[in-house]
Amino acid sequence: MKASSPHRILNPHTLPPARGFSHAVVTSGGRTIYLGGQSGHRADGTLAGPGVVEQMNQACANVAEALLAAGGRPEHVVSVLIFVTDLMGYRAALQPIGEAWQKHFGKHYPAVSLFEVRSLYEPGALVELVCTAVVPSPT
């Protein structure tokens, strides 16, 4: 399934191949939504599991839910900052992490940056997503 986005995704052939992200996103204009960091916590405050895959799946679900509440959809995301506490563990789980991403975002890959950090605010949290979305203006 090809990704659908109202924004223009750019991956110049002069840069390394973009896999799981896009090099640049040119927005079509509209209303910008800035989402606070979304971790792998369920609505009751408990972590979705001890592993990065479970937490990534829940963090993606939380992003999708926050977007919906703000009038956006996953394809409106133009930028994602991923913070992880264990880069090697994240890399080792790329396939199931990718499956978790696609469950909530399909094959839409915005501009993405990945950062390894010493810790996150909540003890036990392994991943946090900070996203920006642009909901296009009605035509």
Higher pLDDT, residue 82 or 7: 82
| Range 95-122 average pLDDT | 95
Whole-model pTM?
Answer: 0.85
| CA atoms of 26 and 46, how far apart (whole Å) | 36
Higher pLDDT, residue 7 or 96: 96
| Range 104-124 average pLDDT | 94
pLDDT at position 2 is 47
pLDDT digits (tens, 9 = 90+) for 44-84: 999 999 999 999 999 999 999 999 999 999 999 999 999 99
DSSP three-state, residue 66: helix
Residue 40 predicted with pLDDT over 50: yes
| CA atoms of 102 and 109, how far apart (whole Å) | 9
| CA atoms of 114 and 134, how far apart (whole Å) | 21
Task: Name 131's bridge partners.
Answer: 80
Count of CA atoms in the C-beta half-sphere (13 A) of 49: 9
100 close to 61: Cβ distance less than 8 angstroms: no
Residue 1 predicted with pLDDT over 50: no
| CA atoms of 125 and 110, how far apart (whole Å) | 23
| CA atoms of 38 and 63, how far apart (whole Å) | 6
Beta-carbon count within 10 A of 113 CB: 11
Residue 139 predicted with pLDDT over 70: no
Higher pLDDT, residue 59 or 137: 59
Q: Which of 23-27, 28-32, 82-86, 123-127 has the lowest mean pLDDT?
A: 23-27
pLDDT digits (tens, 9 = 90+) for 74-105: 999 999 999 999 999 999 999 999 999 999 99
H/E element holding 32? Answer: strand 30-34
